[in-house]
């Protein structure tokens, strides 16, 4: 049995139990008449691992996420996750979308379930055409990472900063924890205390319950806002001591103490988690907004993990790349700057909220889960053009285009070897390679710093989880995996290219047809949505929903210049080449 099958059975067991105890219908997506999964080579088990396995990046308790209200809409937080680009997961009965996964809490033996982002959040995409949505594992996703974390942070804070809303959140979390009782709850209450909490937050509570409510919410609010754990403990101690005189009825006293004691201490811990979210949101402070389907991961990692005191604004976001044919990748990222699986995945998980101790380098990242997800990813193949949805391929025209490709494109865009072209030669926006190549600290390059950080993270993680050197060697892509500076962009094989618009490393060109035009004829702005244009292959500029985020080339890092290859072809040959690229 494959390693990821074994880990899947263990990791998904909690979700199975939660299904029995706390069934929840996934959010509806009424804008689509149907949602289909395109085949990319993953069997059912591998797909479940890829979409739902936590890698250790959990940032908030599952019960809190299930209970949270959106600060902007007042709806359940999970109802609106599609607005931030997360893809619906039809078989997830907790209502979690693809890419939000459940993890154990860092450094805690209780088994508390935490929710975090895994690889599929960025690398399982959904494209649509005339009412049909296509979910494609390995495709870039239109997730807006900045917006996702911003609204999550604001929604949590909106509930925690107001005493009334805080107690209402406490009641909802306690109810969720009761339903998820085998998940190692933090906010655990006896049934009698849970009943009292429900009555305290009922809109028609009587005067006695209103008095008790006022005391409990005042103490919890004070504990959350205490400046130190010791101060919080003192608030809790005084609040519990005053219960007899403050509650509206003597029978409330023991259960009110239980609520204060349980949630007062756990809210202090939660404040630390909110602090992590704030740091992530601050790291997204930008000169150039990434928007959906893009990220500036190395800027964020720099701000969060390497140089806290010299935060730099995001200025060179890049498109989330596809993972089609991932098993053949040796170097990864747009500039081929890394051949290390573990160091890259560890750093990314910590940047997205995983627990991390900078002194000991211990983290909540789960190496064996990372290995399972990597094994699943290596099965991902390019999806075939769905002719039943996007229309038939003109085979004769595509064959003509293949000849053009072999003559004009295949020299760089090869599947058997990696070709790198300097930013000066290709003429595309140099921001990404320039940024990674110039950031330094303590006389060391960014690549050198990442090598050091990765070594510390991996050493601590492998020791704690008993991962052997043989297991690491079998998973890594090189005998001596490293980070490096290339100063160049990788000319990818273009396998499955139809399923990964917009184009160029920074997502500055909406369709393949536009990429074959001179830069001055390419759009200088366009909406970035999910609706595809089968004729020009890429984003349909006329049929994106109202309010779709708009890409502008005028901002730093967003230039659509360069890559002049093919711009001199006649229009018939360009059409033939585009038709052929549907078959890659």
pLDDT per position as a tens digit, 202-229: 888 889 999 999 999 999 999 988 888 8
Q: Please state whether beta strands 440-441 and 532-533 pair in parallel, antiparallel, or not at all (unpaired).
A: unpaired
Residue numbers of the domain that contains 216: 163-278
**410 and 268 within one domain:** no
C-alpha 313 chain-centroid distance? 20
What per-residue confidence (pLDDT) applies to 309?
Answer: 66
41 or 17, greater pLDDT: 41
Residue 213 lies in a domain: yes
Instruction: Compute the average pLDDT of residues 328-350.
Output: 89
Rounded CA separation 85/192 (Å) = 41
For residue 6, pLDDT over 60 is answered with: no
What per-residue confidence (pLDDT) applies to 276?
Answer: 82
Rounded CA separation 165/583 (Å) = 54
Instruction: Compute the average pLDDT of residues 494-514.
Output: 98
Residue 300 lies in a domain: no
**Residue where a domain stops, chosen among 278, 301, 325:** 278
Residue 475 lies in a domain: no
For residue 529, pLDDT over 70 is answered with: yes
Element (H, E) at 294: strand 294-295
Percent of the chain with pLDDT over 90: 59
DSSP string covering 430-469, please?
Answer: -HHHHHHHH-EETTEEHHHHHHHHHHHHHHHHHHHHT--H
**541 and 409 within one domain:** yes
Q: What is the pLDDT of residues 367-417, one digit of tens each?
A: 999 999 999 999 999 999 999 999 999 999 999 999 999 999 999 998 778
10 Å Cβ neighbour count for 555? 14
Record the tokens describing residue 63, joined without a space: 């019960």
Q: Name the CA dihedral angle for 554, 557, 560, 565, rounded to a multiple of 10 degrees.
A: 160
Percent of the chain with pLDDT over 70: 91
**538 and 399 within one domain:** yes
**Residue where a domain stops, chosen among 252, 278, 304:** 278
Residue 556 lies in a domain: yes
Of the pLDDT bands very low, low, confident and very high (cuts 50, 70, 90), residue 342 is confident
In degrees, rounded to 5, the angle at the alpha carbon of residue 15 between the alpha carbons of residues 31 and 463 is 120
Closest CA to 125 of 96, 87, 154, 175: 87
Residue 143 lies in a domain: no
Average pLDDT in the chain: 88
Of the pLDDT bands very low, low, confident and very high (cuts 50, 70, 90), residue 277 is confident
Element (H, E) at 283: helix 253-283
DSSP string covering 6-46, please?
Answer: HHHHHHTHHHHHHHHHS--PPPP-TT-SEEEEPP-S--HHH
**401 and 269 within one domain:** no
- Asked whether the beta carbons of 336 and 492 are under 8 A apart, the reply is no
What per-residue confidence (pLDDT) applies to 399?
Answer: 98
What per-residue confidence (pLDDT) applies to 105?
Answer: 67
Of the pLDDT bands very low, low, confident and very high (cuts 50, 70, 90), residue 107 is low
Residue 77 lies in a domain: no
Of the pLDDT bands very low, low, confident and very high (cuts 50, 70, 90), residue 12 is very low
Q: 320: buried, middle or exposed (CB in 10 Å: 19+, 13-18, 0-12)?
A: buried
**Residue where a domain stops, chosen among 232, 258, 278:** 278
Q: What is the pLDDT of residues 542-582, one digit of tens each?
A: 999 999 999 999 999 999 999 999 999 999 999 999 999 99
Instruction: Compute the average pLDDT of residues 267-286.
Output: 81
What per-residue confidence (pLDDT) applies to 9?
Answer: 33
Residue 175 lies in a domain: yes
Rounded CA separation 307/314 (Å) = 14
Q: Return the exposure string of 514-539: e unless at least 16 CB atoms fall within 10 Å of the residue's CB, then b.
A: bbbbebeebbeebbbbbbbbbebbbb
Instruction: Compute the average pLDDT of residues 85-94.
Output: 87
How many independent structural domains does the chain possess?
2
- Asked whether the beta carbons of 355 and 59 are under 8 A apart, the reply is no
Closest CA to 418 of 511, 331, 540: 331
Angle between helices 341-351 and 446-465 (to 10 degrees): 90
Q: What is the pLDDT of residues 22-73, one digit of tens each?
A: 334 444 455 799 999 999 999 999 999 999 999 999 888 888 898 999 999 9
Residue 262 lies in a domain: yes
Classified as helix, coil or strand, 552 is strand
What per-residue confidence (pLDDT) applies to 308?
Answer: 63
Of the pLDDT bands very low, low, confident and very high (cuts 50, 70, 90), residue 541 is very high
Element (H, E) at 373: helix 367-377
C-alpha 253 chain-centroid distance? 43
For residue 124, pLDDT over 90 is answered with: yes
- Asked whether the beta carbons of 457 and 343 are under 8 A apart, the reply is yes
């Amino acid at each position: 049995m494959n390693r990821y099958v074994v880990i899947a059975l263990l990791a998904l067991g909690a979700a199975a139990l939660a299904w029995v105890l706390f069934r929840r219908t996934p959010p509806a997506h009424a804008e689509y008449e149907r949602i289909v999964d395109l085949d990319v080579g993953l069997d059912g088990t591998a797909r479940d691992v890829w979409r739902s396995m936590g890698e250790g990046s959990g940032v908030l308790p599952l019960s809190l996420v299930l209970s949270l209200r959106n600060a902007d809409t007042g709806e359940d937080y999970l109802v609106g996750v599609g607005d931030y680009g997360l893809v619906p997961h039809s078989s997830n009965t907790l209502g979690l979308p693809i890419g939000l996964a459940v993890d154990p809490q860092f450094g805690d033996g209780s088994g508390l379930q935490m929710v975090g982002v895994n690889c599929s959040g960025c690398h399982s995409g959904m494209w649509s055409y005339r009412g049909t949505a296509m979910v494609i594992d390995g495709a870039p996703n239109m997730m807006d990472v900045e917006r996702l974390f911003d609204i999550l942070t604001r929604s949590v804070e909106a509930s925690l900063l107001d005493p009334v809303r805080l107690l209402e959140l406490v009641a909802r979390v306690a109810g969720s924890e009761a339903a998820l009782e085998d998940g190692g709850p933090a906010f655990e209450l006896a049934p009698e205390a849970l009943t009292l909490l429900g009555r305290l937050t009922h809109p028609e509570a009587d005067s006695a319950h209103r008095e008790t409510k006022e005391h409990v919410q005042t103490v919890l609010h004070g504990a959350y806002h205490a400046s130190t754990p010791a101060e919080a403990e003192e608030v809790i101690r005084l609040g519990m001591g005053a219960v007899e005189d403050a509650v509206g009825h003597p029978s409330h006293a023991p259960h009110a103490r239980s609520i204060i004691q349980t949630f007062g201490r756990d809210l202090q811990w939660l404040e630390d988690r909110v602090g992590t979210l704030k740091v992530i949101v601050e790291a997204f402070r930008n000169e150039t907004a990434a928007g959906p389907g893009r990220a500036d991961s190395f800027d964020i990692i720099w701000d969060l993990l390497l140089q806290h005191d010299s935060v730099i604004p995001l200025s060179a976001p890049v498109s989330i790349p596809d993972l089609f044919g991932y098993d053949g990748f040796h170097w990864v990222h747009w500039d081929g700057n890394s051949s290390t699986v573990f160091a890259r995945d560890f750093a990314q998980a910590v940047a997205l909220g995983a627990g991390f101790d900078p002194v000991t380098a211990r983290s909540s990242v789960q190496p064996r889960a990372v290995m399972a997800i990597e094994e699943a990813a290596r099965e991902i193949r390019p999806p075939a053009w769905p002719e039943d949805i996007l229309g038939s391929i003109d085979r004769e025209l595509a064959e003509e285009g293949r000849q053009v490709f072999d003559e004009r494109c295949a020299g760089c865009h090869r599947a058997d070897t990696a070709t790198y072209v300097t930013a000066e030669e290709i003429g595309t926006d140099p921001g990404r390679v320039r940024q990674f190549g110039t950031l330094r600290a303590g006389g060391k390059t960014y690549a050198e710093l990442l090598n050091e950080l990765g070594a510390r993270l991996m050493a601590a993680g492998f020791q704690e989880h008993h991962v052997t050197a043989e297991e690491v060697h079998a998973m890594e892509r090189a005998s001596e995996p490293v980070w490096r500076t290339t100063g160049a962009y990788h000319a990818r094989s273009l396998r499955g290219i139809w399923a990964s618009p917009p184009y160029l490393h920074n997502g500055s060109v909406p369709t393949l047809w536009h990429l074959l035009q001179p830069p001055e004829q390419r759009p200088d702005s366009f909406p970035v949505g999910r609706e595809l244009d089968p004729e020009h292959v890429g984003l349909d500029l006329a049929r994106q929903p109202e309010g779709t985020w708009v890409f502008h080339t005028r901002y730093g890092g967003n230039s659509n210049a360069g890559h002049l290859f093919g711009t001199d072809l006649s229009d018939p040959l360009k059409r033939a080449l585009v038709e052929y690229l549907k078959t890659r």
